[in-house]
Amino acid sequence: MPHPGTARLDVLGLGVDPFSIDRAVTAINGWIAADAHGYICLATVHGVIESRRDSDLAAAYAGAALVGTDGMPLVWWCRAAGLPAERVYGPDLMLAVCAASAGRGWRHFLMGATDETLAALSGALRRRFPDLHIVGTLAPPFRPMTDAEEAEAIAAINAVRPDIVWIGLGAPKQEKWMARHRDHIAAPMMIGVGAAFDFLAGTKRQAPPWMRRNGLEWLFRLCSEPRRLARRYLVGNALFVTLTVARLIRGRT
């Protein structure tokens, strides 16, 4: 799949695309029209840090058709480099793509979360977009899937011929899954959106808009789920800042 737009910007070893949501939707439309086969990742500080020590995750990002700037620090990196980036936030991208489906007949498949969350998400999206075609859902086990389970999941997706497969498995699981099965999924596009399933379904609270705009969503999520997210945000964010400062110092010497 040809990569659209400008060259990727290196953020501590992870290449990101300085895209807006509107440009992402335009690219998705083109890929669906061309019956291409690829996937989109949305990068955060957590993804940057994890990809530095996980070669499979780094390869998954490198193989993506588009790596959007989900985390605000990545947006700031792009802007500091003179690139007009904006946040490509999973829930906002999902809503924008669903809105663009009107009149195009795009077929959507939802994979991730739980059966209850998927039912709530499907209902919320259909209420907001009455003409939306959700052709299937699948809640995989939280543990690693067996080969047989992965084969069943692929068969279930391909049987309903979706145009877009939304993957809400969380990072880095969803990125690796999309990379591993890009050539097995008979859909033009897979898009990993992580917690967007829970946020849009209403099963988890989103950070207030002002926190999202100012790069403080991590603090809201940390307070909401301290046990699960403490290491990710406290250790990962500190390492990101340290590496960023080191990069700036090297650039001045």
Give the residue among 19, 11, 13, 12 at the shortest CA–CA distance from 3. 19
* Mode of pairing for the β-strands spanning 9-11 and 133-138: unpaired
pLDDT band at 5 (very low <50, low <70, confident <90, very high): low
Which domains are assigned to the chain?
A: 9-201 (3.40.50), 215-252 (no CATH)
Between CA 127 and CA 70 the distance in angstroms is 26
Q: How far apart are CA 186 and CA 165, in angstroms?
A: 10
What confidence tier does 4 reach under pLDDT thresholds 50, 70, 90? low
Of all residues in the chain, the percent with pLDDT exceeding 70 is: 97
> What separation in angstroms does the CA of 68 have from each of 3, 44, 226?
13, 9, 26
Q: What is the pLDDT of residue 159?
A: 98
Tell me if 170 sits within 8 A of 13, measured CB to CB: no
Query: What integer best gives the mean pLDDT of the chain?
Result: 93
- Model confidence at 205, pLDDT cuts 50, 70, 90, reads very high
Residue 225 tokens read as 């789920």
In tens, the pLDDT along 136-185 reads 999 999 999 999 999 999 999 999 999 999 999 999 999 999 999 999 99
Helical residues (DSSP H) of the chain, grouped into ranges: 21-33, 45-53, 55-62, 72-80, 90-100, 115-128, 147-159, 173-181, 196-201, 209-213, 217-224, 226-230, 236-252
State the pLDDT at residue 252. 57
- pLDDT value at position 202? 97
pLDDT on residue 19: 86
Residue 122: pLDDT band (50, 70, 90) is very high
Supply the pLDDT for residue 102: 83
Structure tokens at 68: 């959007």
30: left (phi over 0), alpha (psi -120 to 50) or beta: alpha
Q: Do residues 189 and 166 touch, judged by C-beta distance below 8 A?
A: no
Tell me the C-alpha distance between 226 and 240, whole Å: 19
Does residue 28 register a pLDDT over 80?
yes
pLDDT of residue 253: 45
Q: Using alpha carbons, select from 125, 137, 127, 130 the residue that is nearest to residue 95.
A: 125
Tokens representing 161 are 């011929």
Model pLDDT, residue 84: 87
Residue 3 has a pLDDT of 52
- Overall average pLDDT of the 218-245 stretch: 90
103 band by pLDDT with thresholds 50, 70 and 90: confident
Question: Rounded to whole angstroms, how far apart are CA atoms 216 and 72?
Answer: 9
CA distance 216 to 250: 27
- Considering 105-109, 230-234, 247-251, the range whose residues carry the highest mean pLDDT is 105-109
CB neighbourhood size of 116 (10 A): 11
- pLDDT value of residue 6: 62
Tokens of 99: 């809105």
Percentage of the chain modeled with pLDDT above 90: 85
User: Considering only CA atoms, which of 222, 152, 202 is closest in space to residue 181?
Assistant: 152
- Residue 2: the pLDDT is 46
Mean pLDDT calculated for residue range 38-57: 97
